[in-house]
Amino acid sequence: MDTFIAVMFSSEQQELYCLDCMGYFLMFMAACAFFALLFENVPYGRHASSKYGFPVNVKFAWFVQELPAFMVPLCLLLWTSSAKTSQLPNRLLIAMYLIHYVQRSLIYPFLIRGGKPTPVVSFALAFVFCVYNGYMQIRYLSHYAEYPTGWVTHPCFITGSALWLVGWLVNVHSDHILRTLRKPGETGYQIPRGGVFEYVSGANFLGEITEWAGFALAGCSVHSTSFAVFTLVVLASRAVAHHRWYINKYEDYPKSRKALIPFVF
Ligand SMILES: NC(=O)c1ccc[n+]([C@@H]2O[C@H](COP(=O)([O-])OP(=O)(O)OC[C@H]3O[C@@H](n4cnc5c(N)ncnc54)[C@H](OP(=O)(O)O)[C@@H]3O)[C@@H](O)[C@H]2O)c1
């Protein structure tokens, strides 16, 4: 794989420059997505639409689209000269990323109950994003990122790691609550209760946004920040869309529950 990367880039400086450009480009895409999502919901799940192509089985879609987010990093770590993986901050940040994507790509898809098929365009875009982001995050952390001595005791790293952990736990717990609303074979919807759902309609999204904001704070790079910003844009839009949908569908929907930020929004 080192040979492949050497063919793609004439020097390490050039690859690092490309990785930085990828980070800025993802920020640009987040800005484009922000404006697009003012007019359209992210088209999958309850907001799926046939204008985004034929439906793909939901478990197959989640497994295949998320797999590169785990496999690309794994290949980079196993088969490239990952010069920085001996450094503790780099190791911990890579571990945060991998813990999330082992759950998301190898466990989450097989737990889904009665999920709506995913339109092929949404599926393809998610696949491309996972390849792109998997390479950008892990190549940067495994080969280029240099943190000052003692970075793991810096307030940014400690606060970021704590946010990452809390966000991950909220995300996994909230996805579990949603899953248990359906018995095997059911496909309908119910009002989610318990956990962070008592405060917001998008509890799983709030967890994931917090997680990657923490990762960005701990990693302090354009690469981790662009991922956090992109996640914020996509999932905030989804939380608002779900919240409106619940209010329209259920007359007894809890009045105090907000869309994404407890007590505020
Ligand atoms: N980092 C990122 O950019 C990013 C992007 C997208 C998703 N994600 C993460 O991926 C996970 C899944 O995302 P998602 O958008 O599919 O979440 P979602 O819309 O909340 O749906 C999650 C699952 O729960 C079911 N469900 C949702 N609300 C329900 C209800 N009220 N009653 C019964 N079942 C319900 C859905 O079924 P249906 O399919 O039938 O609606 C789906 O199978 C989340 O943890 C999210 O944070 C991350």
Q: Please check whether residue 133 lies inside any domain of the structure.
A: yes
Q: Which atom of ligand 1 is nearest to the CA of 104?
A: 10
> Does the beta carbon of 171 sit less than 6 angstroms from any atom of ligand 1?
yes
Gap between the Cα atoms of 246 and 62, Å rounded: 24
Which of 41, 42, 65, 204 is the pocket-test mutation for ligand 1 (most atoms within 8 Å of CB)?
Answer: 204
Q: Which atom of ligand 1 is nearest to the CA of 187?
A: 40
Q: Domain of residue 108: give its range.
A: 2-249
Max CA separation in the chain (angstroms) = 62
Q: Cβ contacts of residue 126 below 8 Å, gap of 6+?
A: 61, 65, 66
Q: Are 92 and 28 in contact (CB under 8 A)?
A: no
Beta pairing class for 55-56 and 118-119: antiparallel
> Does the beta carbon of 126 sit less than 6 angstroms from any atom of ligand 1?
no
Q: What residue owns the CA closest to ligand 1's atom 4?
A: 231
Per DSSP, helices labelled H in the chain are 2-8, 12-36, 58-79, 88-102, 108-111, 120-139, 155-179, 203-219, 222-249
Q: Please check whether residue 257 lies inside any domain of the structure.
A: no
Q: Please check whether residue 255 lies inside any domain of the structure.
A: no
Question: How far is the centre of ligand 1, averaged over its atoms, from the C-alpha of 8 (Å)?
Answer: 37
Q: What is the pLDDT along the chain (265 residues), one digit of tens a residue?
A: 899 999 999 999 999 999 999 999 999 999 999 999 999 999 999 999 999 999 999 999 999 999 999 999 999 999 998 899 999 999 999 999 999 999 999 999 999 999 999 999 999 999 999 999 999 999 999 999 999 999 999 999 999 999 999 999 999 999 999 999 999 999 999 999 999 999 999 999 999 999 999 999 999 999 999 999 999 999 999 999 999 999 999 999 999 999 999 999 9
Q: Please check whether residue 263 lies inside any domain of the structure.
A: no
> Does the beta carbon of 234 sit less than 6 angstroms from any atom of ligand 1?
yes
Q: Please check whether residue 42 lies inside any domain of the structure.
A: yes
Q: Please check whether residue 114 lies inside any domain of the structure.
A: yes
Q: Please check whether residue 259 lies inside any domain of the structure.
A: no
Residue 174, burial from CB neighbour count under 10 angstroms (0-12, 13-18, 19+): buried
Per the structure, the count of domains in the chain is: 1
Question: How far is the centre of ligand 1, averaged over its atoms, from the C-alpha of 221 (Å)?
Answer: 28
Q: Please check whether residue 9 lies inside any domain of the structure.
A: yes
Extract the tokens encoding 101.
């994507």
Q: What residue owns the CA closest to ligand 1's atom 43?
A: 115
Gap between the Cα atoms of 103 and 107, Å rounded: 5
Q: What is the pTM of this model?
A: 0.98
> Does the beta carbon of 116 sit less than 6 angstroms from any atom of ligand 1?
yes
